[in-house]
Amino acid sequence: MSTKGEKWFFIHYLVKILMQPTMNLIISNFPPSVTPKEIEDIFKHHGAETEVELYREGNPNSVLAIVKIKGANLAVTSRIARRLKGQLWKGRTLYSYAPLFLKGDI
């Protein structure tokens, strides 16, 4: 059984996550030729200010992007992730999610 203190800690933690001024979105399966600017331009077209980091480790034919979305909260980032999941980018199916544990201030 949880204590009253544990419940308040959880609520405080949840509110802190929901109110982050910058949230991360993880998108995978980009082609090796993708650039951070290409991804940033897509978000900029929709009015979002972003910073993109690319990771080419593991499978050399697939690139993972961590997109830091400024001014977004968890709800917004999760919705973007759901909309992107399964979309095609240059013939490749993208996979995306908004992690709870990876905040934008890394």
If we measure between CA atoms, which residue out of 80, 99, 4, 100 comes closest to residue 39? Answer: 80
**Can you count the helices (H) and strands (E) in the chain?**
3, 6
- Examine residue 46 and state whether it is found in any structural domain, yes or no: yes
CATH number of 79's domain: 3.30.70.330
The pLDDT of residue 4 is: 56
The pLDDT of residue 106 is: 46
> How many domains in the chain?
1
Using the 8-state DSSP alphabet, how is residue 71 labeled? T
Based on the number of CB atoms within 10 Å of its own CB, is 63 exposed (0-12), middle (13-18) or buried (19 or more)?
buried
Domain, as residue range, for 57: 4-97
The pLDDT of residue 92 is: 94
- Examine residue 104 and state whether it is found in any structural domain, yes or no: no
| pLDDT average per 10 residues of sequence, the chain (106 residues) | 59 60 90 94 87 89 92 86 92 92 53
The radius of gyration of the chain's CA atoms, rounded to the nearest angstrom, is: 16
Q: How far is residue 12's CA from residue 26's CA, in Å, rounded to a whole number?
A: 25
The pLDDT of residue 52 is: 96
- Examine residue 106 and state whether it is found in any structural domain, yes or no: no
Residues comprising the chain, all counted: 106
The pLDDT of residue 5 is: 58
- Examine residue 105 and state whether it is found in any structural domain, yes or no: no
The pLDDT of residue 23 is: 87
